[in-house]
């Protein structure tokens, strides 16, 4: 068995971020470990050899999955063949639960299976915990409530805290950032984070931009930033801006700077909501998907909120505007009220600080790496 070889499998940009962070920490502790697998640019830059790039794997909803089924079948077959030929000591599955849980079942205990970034069992389809218990050897989780859930079902689990605490932060001060991008220091700045997938952008950014248009017409002295992931082309953003007839500065690969200089943000549900909470600015959660996908997905959801910030807080501290409620007029009206009420904005900041405090201590990636290596008896003692 290849005692120094680990596969890492992720399928979305947020998973690529966490997979890359984990890979870096593993290699810091033991540079002799060989890491390969499926991921994106970040995992490759962290030192992994990729068998497949994830750029076309991310899906939203059942119909998107169905269109890409042949690709997923081919990918699973390729990974299983790589496992047979290379016999890695373990495979680390990062999020991407629709694919990764099926892969874990197909591996069928041939090698150790570690899951990093838990499937959201607490939100939908809790029955999947049976599959995890049968096919996953070790869970490494970011939230205390996940640890409690798995312990209750006798799954081997370790809580490490959230790696975003080490990652999230601006690269430059506010004045320098605004000057570099030709923005005004004295204006109310609003960041728009419409997601990391093409279909998300098409569904969500128009809602955000229409809301921005109304906010600007009401408040006047405002400017808007769109945080663009590096892997997406400009055209999809430019088309939406053109249709909305509003000025908005597209800024690539500087999400944390965009947030840190802003007074308020509109954020697509997902990892970005937690990143915004860590930076600590007031925001609203917006999400809209293909109607048929939504009608299939909504009955599976067992919790009153979809935003992880509200789930952690166990109450709605950040407004959510989901699907039919994602009305630009309502969003704009609520945003204008918040921007005009300093006390309300400060209360959201205070609640977000409490959420951040519940995420554990910095160093989650290093703790996770040590758990992996100790679990596989790789660590140097």
pLDDT tens by residue, 158-206: 999 999 999 999 999 999 999 999 999 999 999 999 998 888 999 999 9
Mean pLDDT of 256-270: 96
Compute and round to an integer the Cα radius of gyration of the chain: 21
Same domain, 113 and 231: no
Q: Residue 167: what pLDDT?
A: 92
pLDDT for res 196: 86
Strand partners, 140: 116, 158
Number of CB atoms found within 10 A of residue 76's CB: 17
pLDDT for 297 equals 56
Other beta carbons within 10 angstroms of residue 191's beta carbon come to 27
CA 144, distance to chain mean position in Å, is: 18
Angle 7-116-37 from CA coordinates, rounded to 5°: 20
Same domain, 157 and 298: no
Dist. CA 328–CA 321, nearest whole Å? 9
95-127 CB burial, b ≥16 within 10 A, e <16: bbbebbbebbeebeeebbbbbbbbbbbbebeee
Examine residue 190 and state whether it is found in any structural domain, yes or no: yes
Domain identity same for 47 and 189: no
Which pLDDT score, from 0 to 100, does residue 2 have? 44
pLDDT tens track for 37-84 = 999 999 999 999 999 887 766 555 444 555 667 888 889 999 999 999
Q: Is residue 110 part of a domain?
A: yes
Same domain, 120 and 256: no
Distances (CA, A) of 108 to 28, 76, 98, 105, 134: 30, 13, 17, 5, 9
- Does residue 210 sit in the same domain as residue 318? yes
What's the pLDDT at 76? 93
Do 186 and 322 belong together in one domain? yes
Which range marks the domain in which residue 108 is found? Answer: 2-163+363-375
Q: Which of 107-116, 120-129, 132-141, 355-364 has the lowest mean pLDDT?
A: 120-129
> Do 151 and 181 have their domain in common?
no
Q: Is residue 381 included in any domain, yes or no?
A: no
Q: Is the dihedral of CA 21, 24, 28, 34 positive or negative?
A: positive
For the cut 60, the answer to whether the pLDDT of residue 352 exceeds it is yes
341-342-346-349 Cα dihedral, nearest 10 degrees = 70
> Residue 380: inside a domain, yes or no?
no
Q: Which helix (H) or strand (E) holds 115?
A: strand 112-116
Residues 6+ apart with CB under 8 A from 130: none
With contact defined as beta carbons under 8 Å apart, do 300 and 125 qualify? Answer: yes
Q: Does 348 map to a domain? A: yes
Q: How many domains does the chain have?
A: 2
Residue 169 lies inside a defined structural domain of this protein: no
- What is the tens place of the pLDDT at every residue in 215-261? 999 998 999 999 999 878 899 999 999 999 899 999 999 999 999 99
Residue 105, in any domain of the structure: yes
Q: Find out whether 10 and 94 touch, Cβ atoms under 8 Å.
A: yes
Asked if residue 38 and residue 66 are part of one domain, the reply reads yes
pLDDT for 381 equals 35
Taking the C-alpha atoms of residue 122 and residue 118, their distance in angstroms, rounded to an integer, is 10
Cα–Cα distance between 117 and 45 in angstroms, integer? 20
Do residue 136 and residue 200 come from a single domain?
no
φ, ψ at 7 (rounded to 5°): -90, 140
Residues 25 and 152 in one domain: yes
Q: The domain that contains 67 carries what CATH number? A: 3.40.50.2000
Q: Is residue 168 part of a domain?
A: no
Mark whether 353 and 367 lie in a shared domain: no
pLDDT of residue 342: 94
Clarify whether residues 185 and 246 are in a common domain: yes
360 C-beta neighbours (distance < 10 Å), count: 17
């Amino acid at each position: 068995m290849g005692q120094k070889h680990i596969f890492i499998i992720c399928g979305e940009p947020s998973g690529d971020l966490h997979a890359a962070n984990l890979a870096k920490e593993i290699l810091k502790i033991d540079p002799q470990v060989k890491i390969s697998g499926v991921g994106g640019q970040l995992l490759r830059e962290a030192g992994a050899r990729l068998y497949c790039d994830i750029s076309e794997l991310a899906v939203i909803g059942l119909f998107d999955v169905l269109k890409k089924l042949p690709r997923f079948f081919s990918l699973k077959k390729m990974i299983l063949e790589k496992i047979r030929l290379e016999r890695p000591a373990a495979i680390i599955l990062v999020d991407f639960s629709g694919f990764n849980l099926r892969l874990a079942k197909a591996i069928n205990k041939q090698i150790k299976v570690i899951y990093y970034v838990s499937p959201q069992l607490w939100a939908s389809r809790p029955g999947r915990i049976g599959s995890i218990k049968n096919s996953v050897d070790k869970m490494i989780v970011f939230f205390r409530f996940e640890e409690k859930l798995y312990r209750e079902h006798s799954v081997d689990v370790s809580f490490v805290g959230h790696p975003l605490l080490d990652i999230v932060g601006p690269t430059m001060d506010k004045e320098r950032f605004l000057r570099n991008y030709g923005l005004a220091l004295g204006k109310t700045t609003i960041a728009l984070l419409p997601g990391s997938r093409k279909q998300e952008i098409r569904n969500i950014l128009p809602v955000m931009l229409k809301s921005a248009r109304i906010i600007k017409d009401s408040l006047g002295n405002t400017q808007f930033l769109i945080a663009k992931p590096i892997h997406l082309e400009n055209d999809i953003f430019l088309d939406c801006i053109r249709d909305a007839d509003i000025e908005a500065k597209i800024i690539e690969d500087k999400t944390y700077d965009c947030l840190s200089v802003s007074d308020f943000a509109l954020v697509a549900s997902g990892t970005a909501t937690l990143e915004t909470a860590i930076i600590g600015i007031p925001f609203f959660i917006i999400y809209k998907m293909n109607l048929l996908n939504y009608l299939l997905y909504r009955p599976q959801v067992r919790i009153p909120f979809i935003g992880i910030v509200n789930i952690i807080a166990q109450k709605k501290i950040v407004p959510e505007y989901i699907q039919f409620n994602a009305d630009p007029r309502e969003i704009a009206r609520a945003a204008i009220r918040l921007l005009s009420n300093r006390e309300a904005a400060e209360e959201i900041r205070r609640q977000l600080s409490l959420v951040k405090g519940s995420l554990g201590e910095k160093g989650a990636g290093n703790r996770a790496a040590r758990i992996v290596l100790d679990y596989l008896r790789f660590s140097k003692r």
